[in-house]
Structure 1
Amino acid sequence: MPLLARTVTTPLAIDIRRGAVADLGKMLADRRISAGGDVAIVVGPGQGERVAELLRPSLDRADVFTVSGGSVEAALDLGEKIRAGSYDAVVGIGGGKTIDTAKYAATRYALPMVSVATSLAHDGIASPVAALDHDGGKGSYGVHIPIAVVVDLDFVVAGPRRQTRAGIGDALSNLSAVADWELANRFRQEPLDGLALTLARTSAEALLHHPGRIGRGAEDNTQDDFLRVLAEALVLGGLAMSVCGSSRPSSGGCHEISHAIDHLYPHTAAHGEQVGLGALFCTYLRVSRGLEDVGRFTQLSDALSRHGLPRVPTDLGLSVTQFAEAVLHAPGTRPDRYTILEHVGFTADEALATVKEYVDAVGD
């Protein structure tokens, strides 16, 4: 009999709402992840520690490990500590660095990992990738997708708004990433994965057209609805990567530019802020060459502006010349990936002139 469908690996549970953390112990038991609560809870500085304290009454058999830094070294050290115990699962609580550290350590010792996000800064909360620092910079490592994902909106609302804005930029950048993927299919015959593409694009579209904003509408729950859509977009972006076994649906020229900024000008801005700007610039390039409709550029620019995200280099604290240098450096960060940046193939003078034209276009 022919194979008529494929098996897709997804989390057993996805819980996005206020108060979700309070039911974590019950979810672990109901989903048969850990009936007795014998789990390793991994927290970072900040809200993760607060969540761990809230969980102690219901998970009194759990051991708590504190990590910081989001590095390969920290993940390996955590793995050794987990290995010394006997746990049903690893529960990572906190922001992206903490969750990525827990994902890497859990994968190394073949333990299921539960992602409990206290912020919505990027799509790592549900992705099969861990972004960790190492001696030579930052690397992306393949890991198992979380067996369950919990997002408690109470903690998201209480956290820094800049982290949530960064998550918006990361989710919206999927629109540019899938456009680059389709470009690679058109000019290089790179295979497309329709399911992964659909997950990444439709979730980003929902966020693009949502009228809500951070901190607006708390009295009538419209803020919660917006944050739920954002969380779902980040989760689906992670699942899209899992479906196709690659970061392709969520990482195009937008991410290449961000990686270049990280290398040339470290600690410039949050990942989501950089990829949001990178996505708008790459969209401008496709539009200017007749490869994408100008309406997409307008929609994305308006959305970034509405949420207070960077649209021009000076919004990141970079000069036009510095951003042009990042554009030139960007293709070298992912030599195996074909995006609009590789398609254009800038010289130094062309990159600088195009960035200046782009800044003028955003200002129009």
Structure 2
Amino acid sequence: MPLLARSVLTPLHIDVRRGAVADLGTILADGRISAGGDVAVVVGPGQGTRVAELIRPLLRSADMFTVVGGSLDAADDLGAKLRTRSYDAVVAIGGGKTIDVAKYAATRRGLPMVTVATSLANDGIASPVASLVNEGIKGSYGVHIPIAVIVDLDFVEAGPERHNRAGIGDVLSNISALADWELSRQVRDEPFDGLAAALSRAGAEAVLNHPGDIGDDAFVTVLAEALISSGLAMAIDGTSRPCSGGCHEIMHAIDALYPETASHGELAGLGALFCTFLRGDRRRFAEMSACLSRHGLPRLPADVGLTDEQFVEAVGFAPATRPDRYTILEHLAMSPEETRRRLGDYADELCDHRG
């Protein structure tokens, strides 16, 4: 019988542990990414500069570039700088915005990119997607998946706790995204990739059922690996479908209508819980609600500073953020009045899951 298989782009190296940054030079050399350290190191505000100084003696031929914000303009500016000389790779050090800017610029320049994550705010650390703001609107851009991913728990621990907790919401949203994907398969016969779904689901279940918290190395390791698995799931399917459904439509709508309301992961978790309620899956709703509550993540619009009316408006606008996507929001096609009523029922249901 012929052996049938498929090729999947994945990072050559994944390292999640304390002290991982100290081995960056070795990782670049052993992985044949850059033997001489001729790389462009991209850092953002915060811990990125501190990490860059730590690795400077290891990469004497590297150039350092600082980026601020997560805009398409910032990515284009970085791309222009990358054309000033020949580099073996781009090394991005920082949080989600810095990594997304570097991913986009490296892809446009045709350079491999290494992620050194200092926070676990979302699954962008290993995904083939860059979320960038263009003319005030956040869009998703296809990019190459990082060739290596390093998560140093020492720097994650030193970063803002709220940023790391947000990653929990992003991972949990996979559960709702997969349910939306299955719905689209049933209603619209959309192709469904079982391998991508398995990776996405495994990470979400691991975080959902882990008894630890953000101060526990074992839990943080599971969270980091779950975020990386989400990125791999998207690379396998070639779309963000395994990790993005109505939950992310709501998140993008809030970002568009009420910028700077909350972080990507916080809004994704909130959107996922509401979509799960709309789906009528009470067991999943209870599990996800308990997990979000345990980790201090938002479950109600008021928890992110939104009124009920603002949230209703965002839910109504949400499908327009991903016109090609079919989720529980498109399936129900709720009027504002119906959304308002369901939101009230949702708040009442949460009263039974306070903890």
TM-score normalised by L of structure 1: 0.95
**Residues 242-261 of structure 1 mapped to structure 2, 5 A cutoff:** 242-261=235-254
Q: Distance between the aligned counterparts of 2:336 and 2:293, measured in 1? A: 29
1:6 partner SS = coil
Q: Which residue of 2 aligns with 1:352?
A: 340
Q: Distance between the aligned counterparts of 1:138 and 1:263, measured in 2? A: 7
- How far 1:281 sits from its partner (Å)? 0.3
Q: Does 1:120 align with 2:120?
A: yes
Q: Specify the code of the residue in structure 2 equivalent to 1:123.
A: D
Deviations 1:43-83 (A, max 9, x none): 01110000000001111111100111111111111111111
- How far 1:265 sits from its partner (Å)? 1.1
2:58 partner SS = coil
Q: Specify the code of the residue in structure 2 equivalent to 1:275.
A: A
Q: Which residue of 1 aligns with 2:150?
A: 150
Q: Which residue of 2 aligns with 1:220?
A: none
Q: Distance between the aligned counterparts of 1:204 and 1:318, measured in 2? A: 26
Q: Specify the code of the residue in structure 2 equivalent to 1:93.
A: I
Q: Distance between the aligned counterparts of 1:70 and 1:271, measured in 2? A: 13
Q: Which residue of 2 aligns with 1:21?
A: 21
Q: Distance between the aligned counterparts of 2:56 and 2:121, measured in 1? A: 26
Q: Which sections of structure 2, spanning at least 5 residues, go unmatched?
A: none
Q: Which sections of structure 1, spanning at least 5 residues, go unmatched?
A: 216-222
Q: Distance between the aligned counterparts of 2:84 and 2:23, measured in 1? A: 28
- How far 1:188 sits from its partner (Å)? 1.2
Q: CA RMSD in A?
A: 0.9
Q: Which residue of 2 aligns with 1:102?
A: 102
- How far 1:136 sits from its partner (Å)? 4.0
TM-score normalised by L of structure 2: 0.98
Of 259, 268, 286, the residue aligned with 2:261 is: 268
- How far 1:333 sits from its partner (Å)? 0.9
**Residues 176-191 of structure 1 mapped to structure 2, 5 A cutoff:** 176-191=176-191
Q: Specify the code of the residue in structure 2 equivalent to 1:246.
A: T
Q: Distance between the aligned counterparts of 2:275 and 2:254, measured in 1? A: 15
Q: Specify the code of the residue in structure 2 equivalent to 1:349.
A: E
Q: Specify the code of the residue in structure 2 equivalent to 1:161.
A: E
Q: Which moved more, 1:120-129 or 1:313-322?
A: 313-322
Q: Specify the code of the residue in structure 2 equivalent to 1:351.
A: T
Of 318, 321, 333, the residue aligned with 1:330 is: 318
Q: Distance between the aligned counterparts of 1:30 and 1:134, measured in 2? A: 38
- How far 1:210 sits from its partner (Å)? 0.2
- How far 1:84 sits from its partner (Å)? 0.9
Dislocated runs of 4+, deviation >4 Å: none
Q: Which residue of 1 aligns with 2:40?
A: 40
- How far 1:214 sits from its partner (Å)? 1.8
Q: Distance between the aligned counterparts of 1:136 and 1:311, measured in 2? A: 26
Q: Distance between the aligned counterparts of 1:100 and 1:229, measured in 2? A: 22
Q: Which residue of 2 aligns with 1:239?
A: 232
- How far 1:319 sits from its partner (Å)? 1.3
**Residues 1-364 of structure 1 mapped to structure 2, 5 A cutoff:** 2=2, 4-215=4-215, 223-287=216-280, 292=281, 294-364=282-352
Q: Distance between the aligned counterparts of 1:174 and 1:107, measured in 2? A: 26
Q: Distance between the aligned counterparts of 1:69 and 1:243, measured in 2? A: 29
Q: Which moved more, 1:40-49 or 1:127-136?
A: 127-136
Give the 3 Å change call, closer, same or farther, for CA 3–83 of structure 1 in structure 2. farther
Q: Distance between the aligned counterparts of 2:341 and 2:107, measured in 1? A: 46
Q: Specify the code of the residue in structure 1 equivalent to 2:208.
A: L
1:173 partner SS = helix
Q: Distance between the aligned counterparts of 1:56 and 1:243, measured in 2? A: 34
